[in-house]
Structure 1
Amino acid sequence: MCDFLGAAKMIRGVPKEISDMKEELESIENFINNADRIADAEDDNASEGIKARIKQLIEASFGIQDVIDEYMICQEQPSGFANFVKTIILRRQIAYKIQKIKSQISEMNDTSGKEHSLHIQSSLEQGSSSTATNFNMENLRKAQFCIDEDDVVGFEVPRDILIDWLIEEREVHTIVTIVGKGGQGKTTLAKKVFDDNKIVKHFDCHVWIRVSQSYNIEGLLRDMLHKFYEQQGANLPQSIHQMNRESLVDEVRNYLQEKRYVIVFDDVWSLHFWDDIKFAMIDNKKGCKILITTRNMDVANACKKSSFVEVYEMKGLAEQQSLELFNKKTFHDLNGRCPENLIDISFKIVEKCNGLPLAIVLIGGILSCKDRNTSEWYKFSENLNIELKEDLKIKKIVGLGYHDLSYNLKSCLLYFGLYPEGCIVPTNILIRQWMAEGFVKDDMVKTLEDVADGYLTDLISRGLVQVVSISIDGRAKSCCVHDLVHALILEKCEELSFCKNISEDDQSSLSGMVRRLSIAIRFDNLMENIENSQVRSLLVKTLNESLARRIPTKYRRLNVLDLEHVGLLDVPKDFGSLTHLKYFRFRENFRGDRCVLPKAIGMLKNLETLDLTRTSFQAMPKEICKLRKLRHFLGYNMSLIQLKDGIGGMTSLQTLRDVYLDGGENEVVKLIQELGKLKHLRELVLIGVRSGYMSAISSSINEMQKVEKLQIRANGYDTVIDMHLNSPPPMLRHLTLDGKLEMLPLWIPKLQNLVKLKLKYSQLTDDKMKLLKSMPNLLTLSLSNNAYEAERLHFQDGWFENLKQLYLEDLENLNYIIIDEGALRSLKKLSLTFLRHLKTLPTGIQHLKKLGVLSIKQMSHLFSQAFFFDEGKVHWSFKHVPVVEIIHHPIN
């Protein structure tokens, strides 16, 4: 009887215990954060003791996270007697687990050494709220971090030397190598050379390949082929994924056979690299070049055995150049001007960086987030002395940047450890994974997505994360980390049991705690070794079907599941057992068949992201409507007609794309009306739109006041898009309309926040274009596939004053483009593609003083003759443009 009463008391006390455990978890995370920093600063003996303690606490924190998650799932059980009994049993199990964790923490505190006074004052021991210092998130910088140009200096002379070597007329192909220490800016220099207009014009084919330490030849060859096809605007054939090395080499050689090419192999480590890749680099006697960046002079020497090699050895930045780079990074908000009170100390700090760009950027990133207090900066400089002693060590500086982060930001940075070295990660994928992991803390004002975007902005501003591509309005689209930062991340991931990354050359031991796992190889025995571990995140590439089907039964605690290139025909039917799952990405199924999503998808009540892009599915099951926490639903021509009676209840949705409107008109209209209930939607893509749907679409979009991106694609180019928006979304930033516009909607010019407008098949005339001329924030305008039907396009003085990018493609009737002085005064990129009747370059192109890129693709023979051969009349008008891209496949 006493045992029963005791158990009942334990069960009743579970909610209070869970609340205490959440505070305890916060205390432990705060402790781990501080102890990790102390461990790195101590000598080896003391450090090992602290790290052992950290390992214990990490294991305890994992146990707490599991118990909290189990409790939350338990609370979400539906009502009913059977579920009531089940809930009681689960609560009892949770209560016993709580008691076990209490005992573990108490034992750790009793047995731990006192030499560093590292002791957690447990809220569980006290039975009350934690007395440990509360975790305070650093104030994130409010300003949007915008990159208009590379913050690099001192590369003008080496850039010109390398360009001369690459365009030098030499019949046989030549290898140019850039050799330098880590952090000296080899990749940055190579990129400036690669993007230079002289290089772009000189070569027919330009490809950039990241190699790194753990390269795989087959992977590099597929990457090259992918970029070849991408340059042609074509999709990579699925057969490429099944090809062996010999077939891939043949494919590459065939493509390069008639081309003068330049290929960059960035970050080469292996002395055998050139021997591995040279068979694909056909010497066609056209003066082709290969550019290699490496830290090892022996790599350059190894290439000399079979090719002519030029070697450029990097030097450190000069004193003035170092100071200029430091000021750009540290005082970005002051346009790189150092305040007078910090001039002397800034000079002292920069001196200690020995001219290494990465060291300067990282230290500048740390100081950019600190108060501009002279005494604090002097203290930082003194600590920098202690850290670096006599010789500068980049690892120490990277460590300084890492330890200056809050616990949550550290976790966000460490997440790059799940991706291979040099991997470019789309930011929207990264942010959604951070959210699923619980790294992103709730904010009473901002959405989780906006908070996560602030985290990324902070990591970028500190120099720990690098932006690879940005949108026209300055937002990061993709990012990566420097290889030296990645090395520290992997080291910390091992020390903190954060994740394991299994690549081709690193089938490392999976003993101990495996919390997050990334697998980039096909290794049948691997899954058996980890099936009993508490894996919470699983990122898999090239896993065979039989092993992939075991995931739902062997990894029930998954929060994140990312399957790419796995070749599954269907999603496993028992997928619904993954009740903890918050993020599911199933992309690029190369089987070629339409996949099936099981009804069990409706059991994933915690799912926040369902990413099914690049894979064709049959009609989505109506059970998806049960996913009331789903925020991002992405697919490829998805048929959602089965959801017509319930999708309006999915009120957490922020992203919904690409929805194909198939079925009977009444059913489709019902579906569209339901979409109008999604008040928090930020992005919507509708495909296969018919004229009969326009009234329903207009009504629904009038209700979507938070939409920022909208695409409407008609089912045929003669279908009229006639949307009447009485209350268009005020925050709309990106708008794409594919279909005929009998008149330009009057609500479009009223969109004050619109930055990107893409029109296709619109059949606009000159008088309708005038309505767009004065939109204040429009930065990108794209007109394609007869979006504009007149013979002449005239940009008059004052038109499109803020426009930065203009894309004109496949406008069949266009004969002349005229640009008056004072028009398009902010334009940075002009792209002309497949304009078959355009006779010459735009008249007045010389007025575009800020034009940085002129892209010309697949123009008529008449246009090509004037452009290429009449330099006396045409060339002068665009010689001020730094980069001119020419893809010359003449059309008739």
Structure 2
Amino acid sequence: MAEAAISFALGEVFQILKEEKSLLSGINKEFLDIRDELESIQAFLKDADRKAADEANTNDGIRTWVKQVRQVSVRIEDVIDEYLRVIHQVPRHGFGASICKITNLIRTSLSRHQIAVEIQDIKLSLSLIKERSERYKFQVLREKPSSSSTGRIEGSGWNDHRMGSLFIEETEIVGFELPRDELLSLLLEGKKERTLISVVGMGGLGKTTLAKHVFDSENVKIHFHCRACITVSQSYTVRGIFTDMIKQFCRETKDPLPEMLEEMDEKTLISELRQYLEHKRYLIFFDDVWHEHFCDQVELAMPSNNRSSRIIITTRMIHVVEFFKKSFPLHVHNLQPLPSDKAWELFCKKAFKFELDGQCPAELKGMSNEIVGKCKGLPLAIVAIGGLLSTKSKTVFEWRKVSQNLNLELHRNAHLTGLTKILSLSYDDLPYYLKPCILYFGIYPEDSSINHKRLTRQWIAEGFVKSDGRTLEQVADEYLSELIYRSLVQVSWVGFEGKVKSCRVHDLLHELIVRKMKDLCFCHFVHEGDDESATSASTRRLSIDTSINNVLKSTNFTHIRALHAFGKGGTVEPFTGLLASKSRVLKVLDLESTSLNHVPRNLGNIFHLKYLNLKNTKIRSIPKSVGRLQNLETLDIRETLVHELPSEINKLKKLRHLLAFHRNYEAEYSLLGFTTGVLMKKGIKNLTSLQNLCYVEVEHGGIDLIQELRFLKQLRKLGLRRVRREHGKAICASVAEMTHLESLNITAIGEGEIIDLNSISSIPQLQRLHLKARLERMPNWISKLEFLVKMRLALSNLKDDPLRSLENLPNLLKLTIWDNAYGGEILHFQSGGFRKLKELNLARLNTVSAILIDKGALLSLEHVKITKITHLKKVPSGIKALYNLKVIDFCDMPTELVESIDPQNGQDYWIINHVPLVFIRRWVGPKLNDFEVRIVHSSTKESLTN
């Protein structure tokens, strides 16, 4: 983590040297000196970080040195931020400007002197740190081991803890019955071609236990001529692996070892292995593979001899598995956490192994369930914690102590050190730029499912994400993907198009992350009931999971870079007022879902603020001082009562995401929807960095506002509401200039308002299109949108069947046609159309009386929802041929249709009886989502109420 800190500090120095043309006299030289010192220290940081993390082999001096490196890097960031704040102070205008100018000059001169003094002190500190580094003889380490690595690290702590997974008795294995049978089938049956089988998952899931259990099966032993089980791990030599393979093969077949084996080079070893395996059906198990290049290193030693040979690998890294695809037919088994019943069975086996007949006593069941729940199906955690509890008295008091203090127990109890070390391995293996990204998950409360855009925008604001020619958002998404591929981050919600919408980390990994954050002074936590919430000068981030009132008196805001509040209690206004007055380096302010009622007038004082999230608060306005937030990148005021933005917002040239709308789900259904946007004033064309703008009510600014939009050439998402007929051509002209546009949402001001969008030539990158306006005919350019994945039409009053324009779109996955989008009687899905469509939503089409689905249409369809089509009395018979259909949802449909699919007496039940889940909903009011629900599942029927 010290390497990450120095890298960020270096990045800041490079940036200021590159961009700041007005550096004070002499300052340029000082920053150049700092850069040179940082670069010389950085060369040794991988080795220093590794030694500091190895608790068994490190003296306090090394840890102190690493801590000093982190501290000085933070001071560098602070001094740069202060310098930028001073030289970019916005001068005041109007009455009293001269007095203010004099005052500012005096204050600025003092600040510049303080900055110069701090820089000199930093240089001295760096010099001393560099001198101490020579005492510890740090080595320059490469990022990853190569074939010339110096051998497996014998006796290292993590290796000892993992060894047990290779020697678990069969009677101890619980919950792997299905994956075991699947792997056995892949080993013993199938293609004659050499095939690779991978078991992928986070540390502690039991990958090694499962694979070794299958490897040692009697049927497997008989099936293969020779086998080898090789532990790879993070440090290995290719020579060592090849030598070990030959020894294991010869030991199993009782063949003599080749002469001079230990003296052979890699090329000779490969030749020996290929010759030995050429006519054999072999099985090789590579356990714990970490790096992609491993495939290239070992592939040549395993001949493809068409004898049904198999290779098994276990890994935490999905991208390692992907790398094997180029050389092997591949089967990927993503190992899942244990289901609750198996988790309970495993826990009882460990906690009550030698007493109580392996059964949990009644008085401990509640506490035991709570403890098992915290393990979230992770076998290693269940085994470790069950083993710890097996040594404790079987009393509620003792077990409650373990449950309530699990975080402390993880780090101090010998029974759990193996668990923490195995979980730590994945963190320790991360490249420096991903370590602060994974630590950020610890800022959020345990068990949080975090919106991926909220998270990645905060990473960007913190400076964790570095541009490489792509947008910062694209790079941040790649960072998140890499954490997912490394099995550190779990996906909790995937959109219909396969994109990650929200994610989380396992609770025990969260505990580990929180501990690391505290050790690194990455974040200070204030929880409900904490006795001590005071922060220190080293506090850089604050996570508040309690009433904000609890932190008002004891918090020093001067050095805080990010503040996240998750508690709803307390009065937030005094807190935000203090922040605006005292904060000097704050970059991230997240007050989502707090009880905030208004924003302080001096908000603009937070010069460095990049991310401001006020979503789902009760604020009604944004102060004019927002125009002074020159560095603001994200402003999120969704689900607030803000309806108009001050003209000063148009000064924010770095603003990338302006998210502003309110949805009133309590209101009665409206054809024009429940969403209101914001009014914006002239000057919007200055927001040239804007990527996200939704929603703007264009009626207020009219054509002038729409014409200004053409200057926003970086827009990816645009939402316009209350659009009038006369706006159509201006919208077409502006949208034509937005070559990066991926999402377009247009809603008319009234049901009968005709919006002419035909003059758009094309929007080549468009992925989502929502049109709620009268069109009368479908614009020609829509049928050419080859990247479109989602289409929604409403109020269009189309005379021709809209399906003809949409059925050949190559990537369309979700289609919604509702609220009189079509004025005909028959919707006809023709054979061959909508080949990739997964979701179809048809609603409130008042003239439609029949839906025809030809055989060969909608071949990929999984989910259908049909709502309040009052003239549709018969279920479409073509549904019978939709073999991939998983869910049908009928909502407020005519009685005739509902009765026709009744499992007992319905004449058309045969049409839908192959669909796993069929909902029948009837609105009972008064709220929009108040439905009585009946579920038809095969031949069963049950009722429930939403």
Q: Shorter-chain TM-score category?
A: 0.5 to 0.7
- Counterpart of 2:524 (choices 491, 500, 503) is 500
Taking the aligned partners of 1:101 and 1:586, their CA distance within structure 2 comes to 37
Residues 432 and 22 of structure 1: CA distance in aligned 2, closer, same or farther (over 3 Å): farther
2:852 matches 1:818: yes
SS in 2 for 1:486: helix
How many angstroms does 1:616 deviate by? 1.7
AA partner of residue 629 (structure 2): L
Greater shift after overlay, 578-587 or 52-61? 52-61
Larger radius of gyration: 2
Q: Structure 1 714/860 Cα, relative in aligned 2: closer, same or farther at 3 Å?
A: same
Residue by residue, what CA displacement relative to the aligned partner does 1:569-595 show, whole Å, maximum 9, x if unpaired? 3210011110011111111124xxx61
CA distances 1:558-613 after superposition (whole Å, capped 9, x unpaired)? 000011233333210011110011111111124xxx61211110110011111111
Deviations 1:441-465 (A, max 9, x none): 121x211111111111111111111
User: Match for 1:534 among 559, 573, 576?
Assistant: 559
1:764 equivalenced with 2:764 (yes/no)? no
Separation in 1 of the partners of 2:529 and 2:46? 31
List per-residue Cα deviations over 1:197-229 (Å, max 9, x = no partner): xxxxxxxxxxxxxxxxxxxxxxxxxxxxxxxxx
Using the alignment, how far apart are the partners of 1:85 and 1:91 within structure 2? Answer: 10
Q: CA deviation at 1:887?
A: 3.7
Percent identical residues = 38
RMSD: 4.0
Q: Normalising to structure 2: TM-score of the pair?
A: 0.64
Q: Secondary structure in 1 aligned to 2:465?
A: coil
| Of 500, 505, 513, the match for 1:476 | 500
The aligned runs of 1:729-748 (5 Å cut-off) are: 729-748=763-782
Amino acid at match of 1:55: K
1:675 aligns with 2:671: no
Deviation of the 1:837 alpha carbon: 3.2
* Post-superposition CA distance 1:135-162 (Å, at most 9, x none): 99x9xxxxxxxxxxxxxx9576999xxx
Alignment counterpart, residue 485 of structure 2, candidates 440, 445, 461:
461
Which residue number corresponds to residue 875 of structure 1?
909
Answer yes or no: is the 8 Å Cα contact 1:648–1:675 preserved in 2: yes
Say yes or no: does 1:648 pair with 2:685: yes
Shift of 1:547: 2.5
What secondary structure, in the 3-state scheme, does the structure 1 residue paired with 2:801 have? helix
Partner residue in 2 for 1:117:
137
Q: State whether structure 2 residue 429 is matched by structure 1 residue 409.
A: no
Alignment-derived partner of residue 443 in structure 2: 418
Match for residue 316 of structure 2?
363
1:577 aligned onto 2:611: no
Q: Which one-letter code corresponds to 1:470 in the other structure?
A: V
Equivalent position to 1:60, from 72, 90, 102? 72
Aligned AA for 1:463?
A: S
1:448 matches 2:472: yes
Aligned match of 1:399: 424
Structure 1 letter corresponding to 2:524: K
Alpha-carbon offset, residue 25 of structure 1: 5.4
Rate the CA distance shift 1:615–1:33 in 2: closer, same or farther, 3 A.
Answer: farther
**1:373 and 1:884, CA in 2 relative to 1: closer, same or farther beyond 3 A?**
closer
CA drift at 1:398: 2.4
Structure 1, unpaired ranges of 5+:
1-9, 120-131, 139-152, 160-181, 187-314, 331-339, 351-359, 375-387
Matched AA of 2:88: E
**Distance in 2 between the 1:423 and 1:732 partners?**
32
Q: Quick one: which amino acid aligns to residue 610 of structure 2?
A: K
1:563 matched residue in structure 2: 591
CA 1:606–1:867 in 2, change beyond 3 Å: closer, same or farther? same
Matches within 5 A, 1:116-155: 116-118=136-138
Structure 1 residue 757, shift from structure 2 partner? 0.5
CA contact (8 A) 1:813 1:837 kept: yes
Secondary structure of the residue that 1:662 maps to in structure 2? helix
1:70 maps onto 2:82 in alignment: yes
Does the CA-based 8 Å contact 2:483-2:489 persist in structure 1? yes
Q: Which deviates more from structure 2 when the two are superposed, residues 803-812 or residues 33-42?
A: 33-42
Q: Tell me: CA distance 1:346–1:764, structure 2 relative to 1, closer, same or farther (3 Å).
A: farther
Q: TM-score under structure 1 normalisation?
A: 0.68
Distance in 2 separating the partners of 1:833 and 1:24:
67
Secondary structure of residue in 2 paired with 1:658: strand
Equivalent residue runs for 1:842-853 within 5 Å:
842-853=876-887
**Aligned pair partner of 1:619 in 632, 640, 644:** 644
Deviation at 1:717, TM superposition (A): 1.9
Q: CA deviation at 1:832?
A: 2.0
Look up the match of 1:105. 126
Residue 392 of structure 1: CA displacement?
Answer: 9.8
Q: Deviations over 1:532-574 (max 9, x none)?
A: 5511000113251322322211323200001123333321001
Tell me, yes or no, if the aligned pair for 1:361 and 1:463 is still in contact at 8 Å. Answer: no
Question: In the alignment, is residue 12 of structure 1 matched against residue 40 of structure 2?
Answer: no
Deviation at 1:809, TM superposition (A): 1.9
Maintained 8 Å contact 2:287/2:315? no
Matched with 2:53 is: 40
Give the corresponding residue for 2:185: none
Q: CA, structure 1 residues 418+361, in 2 after alignment: closer, same or farther (shift >3 Å)?
A: farther
Query: Which amino acid is the alignment partner of residue 643 of structure 1?
Result: K
Q: CA deviation at 1:13?
A: 1.8
Q: Which amino acid aligns with 2:83?
A: Y
Q: Letter of the 2:521 partner, please give it.
A: S
Determine helix, strand or coil for the equivalent of 2:736: helix
Output the amino acid matched with 1:702. A
Separation in structure 2 between the aligned mates of residue 855 and residue 158 of structure 1, nearest angstrom: 37
- Higher RCO, 1 vs 2 (CA within 8 Å, ≥6 residues apart): 1
In structure 2, the CA distance between the partners of 1:53 and 1:530, relative to structure 1 (3 Å rule), is: farther
Q: State the alpha-carbon separation in 2 of the partners of residues 759 and 678 from structure 1.
A: 26
User: Residues 266-310 of structure 1, C-alpha deviation per residue, up to 9 Å, x if partnerless?
Assistant: xxxxxxxxxxxxxxxxxxxxxxxxxxxxxxxxxxxxxxxxxxxxx
Distance 2:830 2:647 in 1: 53
Q: Residue type matched to 1:647 in 2?
A: I
Select 2:661's aligned residue among 636, 656, 661.
636
What CA distance in whole angstroms lies between the structure 1 residues aligned with 2:74 and 2:495? 38
CA contact (8 A) 1:514 1:533 kept: no
Partner of 1:522: 547
Rounded to whole Å, the distance in 2 between the matches of 1:95 and 1:369 is: 51
Note the alpha carbon deviations across 1:848-875, whole angstroms, 9 max, x for none: 1222332333333332222234466433
CA contact (8 A) 2:558 2:584 kept: no
- On the 8 A contact 2:647/2:681 being kept in 1, the answer is yes
**Distance 1:157-1:110 versus aligned 2 partners, 3 A rule:** closer
Distance 1:861 1:745, change over 3 A: same
- In structure 1, distance between residues paired with 2:447 and 2:120: 44
Distance in 1 separating the partners of 2:416 and 2:590: 42
Change (3 A) 1:824 1:62: same
Equivalent residues of 2:899, 2:906 under 8 A apart: no
Q: 1:783: how far off?
A: 1.0
How many residue pairs are counted as aligned between the two chains?
A: 665
Query: How many Å separate the matches in 2 of 1:768 and 1:881?
Result: 27
Give the conservation status (yes or no) of the 8 Å contact 1:154–1:321.
Answer: no
User: Would the alpha carbon gap of residues 133 and 400 (structure 1) be closer, same or farther in structure 2, given more than 3 Å must change?
Assistant: closer
Q: How many Å apart are 1:728 and its aligned residue?
A: 2.5
**1:838 maps to which residue?**
872
Partner of 1:337: none
AA matched with 1:396: K
Residues 597 and 31 (structure 1 numbering): CA distance in 2 closer, same or farther, change over 3 Å? farther
2:255 alignment partner in structure 1: none
Q: Distance in 2 between matches of 1:104 and 1:97?
A: 10
Does structure 1 conserve the Cα–Cα contact (< 8 Å) formed by 2:745 and 2:770? yes
Contact kept? 1:679, 1:704, Cα under 8 Å = yes
- CA gap 1:32/1:746 in 2 versus in 1, 3 angstroms: same
